[in-house]
Amino acid sequence: MAVVAYFNGQFVDPDGAWVPLEERGHQFGDGVYEVIRVYSGRPFLMEEHLERLERSLRVIDIPNPHTREEWAQLIAESVRRSGEAEAQVYLQVTRGSAVRGHAFPGGTAPNVSLVVRPAAAPVHPEDAALLALPDERWPNVYVKSINLLPNVIAKETAKRAGAAEAMLVRAGVITEGASSNLWFVIGGRVYTHPANRYILGGITRQFVLQLARESGVEVVEEAVPFSKLGEVQEVFVTSTTQEILPVARVFTDRRIAPALDTLPAEPPETLLPKVEEPVELWRRPGAAVVTARLAEAFAQALEKFRNYEPLLQA
């Protein structure tokens, strides 16, 4: 199982020291990234990922170092070198290397790095849980920025509490997971937060929206208030690496719960609170019928992709 690494025009030893110390991604998180899943040696939904990469670069004023065709060639060659049929591609573009200063430096070229690693099919526990936490990220979440400290903290807090993912809540409204999009089935309809500035519009989310409509499942792109969680029949998660993950329950801690509505002004002693007084907020009341239907449609689409068949109807 080979790991392939690339930095600024060269394939390099993944364990080598290639990133300069005065690199803006390293010092400021001044860059963006994408993660692309590879099935049977083929990058899945690559055009959609590259389109989102272009938008992220554009809105933070980093010039795109490659055309879409050049990106596709680089990804294809990286996957070929890895020899992995099932893999994950991580690519990152930063503003470049310069003497440290907050304002953008002039005359710097973007730095491009890429890593291909083997990837296994996701394992979905039957009792997967979400930990409800306040959404403490910046407002421009639609940019796939490498500034991921709030996401990392939420993910680790959920992990320590035994949850598969965090359920982020901003001012009483459920937004998304720490590294995923969230979906809720209410009265037979599927609800998911609209792709505005407050969520990262996932590529898997976009694909599942299309699958749902083709499968005759009604989807509403509308935020679900946290107060409506009791009306929900099913919850599931989507992401590039998790595909479609059914959720069995949602919980929080008694001391965390007030911050789901309003963040306190007083700085907390820790940003990784322990769940010592758990409060169950939701438990799936029955079979996840709609989730299973969409998961089956997703599996069928992957099988078509592996067989080089069209994924969706024109």
Of 144, 155, 159, 274, which one is the catalytic site residue?
Answer: 144
Estimate to the nearest angstrom the gap between the alpha carbon of 262 and the chain centroid. Answer: 25
Residue 121's CB is within 10 A of a number of other CB atoms, namely 9
304 noted as active-site residue? no
Question: DSSP letters along the chain, please?
Answer: ---EEEETTEEE-TTS--S-SSBHHHHH--EEEEEEEEETTEETTHHHHHHHHHHHHHHTT---SS-HHHHHHHHHHHHHHHT-SSEEEEEEEES-B-SS-SSPPSSPPPEEEEEEEE-PPPP--TT-EEEEEE--S-S-TTS-BS--HHHHHHHHHHHHTT-SEEEEEETTEEEEESSSEEEEEETTEEEE--SSTTS---HHHHHHHHHHHHTT--EEE-PEEGGGGGG-SEEEEEETTTEEEEE-EEEEETTTGGGGTS--SSPPS-SS---SSEEEEEE--S--HHHHHHHHHHHHHHHHHHTT--SS--
d(CA 283, CA 164): 15
As annotated, the active-site residues are 144
